[in-house]
Structure 1
Amino acid sequence: MSDFDAIDALLADVGPQAELPPPDVRRELREQARLSKAQVARALGVSPGTVGAWEGGRDPSDEIRAKYAYLLDGLAAKFPTEPAPEAPPAEDEDETGDESASENEAGDDAGDEVESLVAPEACVLCGAPATHRVAGFAQHLDPSDCRPATATGTQPAGAQPTQTQPTGPAPETTPHPAQRPRSPAKRAFQEQSGPADLIGQTVQAALAEHQGDVEATLAALLKRAIPDAMRLLDETRKGARYDIVAHPWIPDILRKQTSKGADRIWEARPKWTRHELPPGRHEVTALDINGAYLSALKTHLPLGQLEHSAGFAHDRRRAGVHLITPPAWEHEAVLPNPIGNRDEPGPLWVTEPTLRLLLRLSGPKHALCEPPEIHESYTSGATENLLEKFRVALKEARDTAIAADDEVTLEYVKAMYSKFVSTMGESNYNRELYRPDWMHIIRSQAFSNLWMKALKAHDEGLTVVRAMGTDELHVIGDWHRVFPEGRGVTEVKMKDIYTAGADVVDDTEGTEGTGDMSGEEE
């Protein structure tokens, strides 16, 4: 075949390009259908910024053009005569013109792409009606308009508030699941029940199945903790204006280097013991931090797949992992290093909570170190509230179980959130969610939370003796004036009391905690 024959063959395979309506009509059709750019982008496998560019005059090509034309033809058939709604305020030029914009850019700041809504939609942060979309997500522009995300009365944490929502205490006032707004189904398990009662119903069914045998019931519940946690996550995500990207592309630094090895992310797990105590003998109290991983679910998580960037700037609207050179730490005698026990100098990959902790400690309020050097990052648009309804549902079930002295439910809930965190990386036990970046971030948030408790103790005049893992803090002094005692997630428990100091054999080895999720104290 000659060169000209080959070219002719190529030309024969190329059909006419699909016709597209003018850019202003493309936007009108999307707005008439009350679709966000993010929704259209997900359906076509592009970014919201790309959809904005198409509506601004740029044309797609090849297969994606045919798909976009097919969508617009379908919308035109559904809205043949309806007039276009009033145009919303002008969008940011950067947002509409950047084809590499994050697929799920978070709308945490009003400086992002803003659209007015024809009809109010549920805010992604609090669930209350909002009249604007930011970067494709419905939310309030003024943070003061956001209502607390926690549920009140018996209203399910994942249900959308309505004006007729009952607030009475009777369980039968909870709306039927069919009346609640639903997001597109993503998984096979779809028996519907509100998050407020899903855990209790599961425990009661297991008790009935095992004829009240507590030991057998608990064993069965622990085996199903992972799928049940994913089912609860589905339930609490109903009504959300964006979907969780469950299996995104992952950079090599988040992949295991060997089959049984680790990846390159440093979680900053503390394992610190004070080298020298003040003179004399001291009574040391080992405190146990309740629900460390449950509290750590409230952290800045990237929504979409991670995108690479280089440079020293930190964008607080994004989250991910960062290659940094950590600052020197000159307070090892009284406080642990915020990056944990690391002997090797030089740059290392850390998570968002570790970076934010270092930036916080380098700020004017604390001024404990220099800012870290940021060399490169993998980040995506982020929100701190992605798992908030999931966390609240687990916390409420935990609180109820503690009040009722229900150890079966308590252990079941603990297994749900601890295994949820530990299996979202490379695991054979959870194939529904593959987010090793989230796993590292949540773990690091738990370590960061413990570190801040150590700083609080130090600032309040206590002597910090030891900080271990996620949930163990040893102090000298009247800790009751610093930390409330109890079993709630905002409280601490006394784990042990021992004596240390001059002429006393150090017997702390028996109280050392691993911070491992499977053995987390409740």
Structure 2
Amino acid sequence: MTDFGAIDALLAGAKKEVALPSAEERRALREELSLSRAQLAQALGVSPSTVGGWESGRDPSGEVREKYVYFLEGAKAKLAAEAAETAEAAEEAPAEEAEDEARADAEQAAGQDDDVDVLATPEPCVLCGQMARHQVAGFTQHLDPADCNLAGPAQTSEPAAPEKRAPRPKPRRAAPSGRQGQAGRGVKVVPVGRRMQTADTPDLIGSAVTAVLAEHGGDVEAATKALVKRAIPDAMALLDHTRKGGRYDIVAHPWLPDVLRKQSSRGADQIWEARPKWARPELPAGEHEVTALDINGAYLSALKTHLPLGQLEHSTGGHHDRRRAGVHLITAPAWDHDDYLPNPVGSRDEPDPLWVTEPTLRLLLRISGPKYGLCDPPEIHESWTSGATEGLLEKFRVALKDARDRAITEDDEVTLEYVKAMYSKFVSTLGESNYNRELYRTDWMHIIRSQAFANLWWKAHRAYDEGLMVVRAMGTDELHVIGDWRAVFDEGRGVTEVKLKDVYTVGTPEMRDEPAD
């Protein structure tokens, strides 16, 4: 006899697999919520590379598929709700503004402004002599010019007195400045990068290139050499120009502690910049195509970093004040991920404790936090710091970046080499250098370099987090990966993009069994 109960149970438990959105939509949903693959992987109980595979076209199965579908549907619902709220707010704003204007007009018509009074008995208008019901600043007159007959005053027992003409009522709302161009000469502005600036703002970089090219009769090679030679003083002049009106004063020649002084004439100081020189110790069996990527404008991007403003002050203890920046003596945490990610402290043989810069310390504190949990927090023993800001060189950096972008767009190699020399030599001569006497900040030099190394580490982590295999990381701008890197990084010459440097093969093809003779 057929077991109908077993059939019913089978039918009740049977489920049709829910269709998954396309791989592109899966990734887009996650990124629109600003979630990393590592965060999603942790919630689903899988590895980040597994999530990367799903976002490349592979489909999950079983219980984890149900969890993944639940996340994707929830993400769609959340984004749809946020979009609806944004659209509703956009619709309500014009309506509220119209209501406010109508209310203001009604109040003015009703005589509720501070300078307008409603008369119980009409009196002659001081402008036209006809009867009016309102007073403005103590003078009777019509609020609506259409009601005011200026052709001639009406005959009344008391003639109107033109000499007592009242001032016109003040407008309810001042006209926007953009509508006042006809009344007076405006200020001409031009686009520069993402920003606008007055048209008469001097273009120090463009003027220098034009002048030197003219001086060398259009000889590109000679002009480039001349511009590179004057890159340091020109960079200092540009810095001074961008610092006009700045909120902070720079201490250009502060007293420096011994840790920032060279131990001998040809020696180095005690600061460890965490320069990476890492290679993956082992690859999976088989043959692999490796892509070497070049990170554009590494030192230019690193100008955006927390720099100390004044003279460094000494402190002890393990507290880190994010409002200050400098150098710190730390015991670095153990690093257990060297098989697939470089050590954020760099490749070193030096024992702990060691002096590191602000970017290295902030990197360690961030990846030791709950979001990443890659290591223990570093132990801080003592510090030399000063009040700091991340935007100290921001205008300087943007001016160089905009000039670099224009040079790339216009295929202007002279300007490109000149700008590159300006920011690279600016960084390299901040320390004990005879070439830059205007700014002597060894701490800045180390901090900016370390920021470039920290930026490269984050590029390596992003590659790993997005499912690429990181093979090598070196210096400030070289990253070797295996996988579809164009799905992770934008290709180009911009400072937020990467360039293809080399493609090579490592490993050997898997051996196949040969037929016996």
In structure 2, the residue matched to 1:420 is: 426
Indicate the SS of the match to 1:201: helix
Matches for 1:257-336 after TM superposition, within 5 Å: 257-336=263-342
In structure 2, the residue matched to 1:199 is: 205
RMSD between aligned residues:
1.8
Which amino acid counterpart does residue 359 of structure 2 have in structure 1? P
Give the greater-gyration-radius structure (CA): 2
In structure 2, the residue matched to 1:348 is: 354
Q: How far off its partner does 1:501 sit?
A: 1.6
Matches for 1:497-516 after TM superposition, within 5 Å: 497-502=503-508
Q: How far off its partner does 1:342 sit?
A: 1.2
In structure 2, the residue matched to 1:237 is: 243
CA–CA separation in structure 2 for the residues paired with 1:373 and 1:170:
45
**Is contact 2:430-2:441 (8 Å) kept?**
yes
Matches for 1:314-463 after TM superposition, within 5 Å: 314-463=320-469
TM (norm. structure 1) is 0.60
1:470 has 2:476 as partner: yes
Q: How far off its partner does 1:168 sit?
A: 4.2
Q: How far off its partner does 1:315 sit?
A: 0.2
1:166 has 2:172 as partner: no
Deviations 1:348-368 (A, max 9, x none): 000000000000110011100
CA–CA separation in structure 1 for the residues paired with 2:351 and 2:209:
50
Unaligned 5+ runs, structure 2: 1-184, 511-517
In structure 1, the residue matched to 2:491 is: 485
1:216 has 2:222 as partner: yes
2:260 to 254, 257, 260: 254
Indicate the SS of the match to 1:374: strand
CA–CA separation in structure 2 for the residues paired with 1:379 and 1:239:
25
Indicate the SS of the match to 1:495: strand
**Is contact 2:327-2:357 (8 Å) kept?**
yes
Which amino acid counterpart does residue 206 of structure 1 have in structure 2? V
Indicate the SS of the match to 1:397: helix
When residues 357 and 429 of structure 1 are mapped into structure 2, their CA distance, relative to the original with a 3 A threshold, is same
CA–CA separation in structure 1 for the residues paired with 2:323 and 2:186:
35
TM (norm. structure 2) is 0.61
In structure 1, the residue matched to 2:24 is: none
When residues 436 and 165 of structure 1 are mapped into structure 2, their CA distance, relative to the original with a 3 A threshold, is farther
Matches for 1:26-41 after TM superposition, within 5 Å: none
Which amino acid counterpart does residue 189 of structure 2 have in structure 1? T
CA–CA separation in structure 2 for the residues paired with 1:199 and 1:170:
13
Which amino acid counterpart does residue 246 of structure 1 have in structure 2? A
CA–CA separation in structure 1 for the residues paired with 2:249 and 2:301:
22
Matches for 1:51-62 after TM superposition, within 5 Å: none
When residues 255 and 168 of structure 1 are mapped into structure 2, their CA distance, relative to the original with a 3 A threshold, is closer
CA–CA separation in structure 1 for the residues paired with 2:187 and 2:481:
47
Matches for 1:167-186 after TM superposition, within 5 Å: 167-168=189-190, 175=198
CA–CA separation in structure 2 for the residues paired with 1:455 and 1:176:
42
Which amino acid counterpart does residue 468 of structure 1 have in structure 2? M
CA–CA separation in structure 2 for the residues paired with 1:452 and 1:339:
13
| Percentage of identical aligned residues | 77
Q: How far off its partner does 1:344 sit?
A: 3.0
When residues 332 and 170 of structure 1 are mapped into structure 2, their CA distance, relative to the original with a 3 A threshold, is closer
Which amino acid counterpart does residue 425 of structure 2 have in structure 1? K
Indicate the SS of the match to 1:309: strand
CA–CA separation in structure 2 for the residues paired with 1:450 and 1:235:
30
When residues 431 and 282 of structure 1 are mapped into structure 2, their CA distance, relative to the original with a 3 A threshold, is same
Q: How far off its partner does 1:166 sit?
A: 3.4
Indicate the SS of the match to 1:488: coil
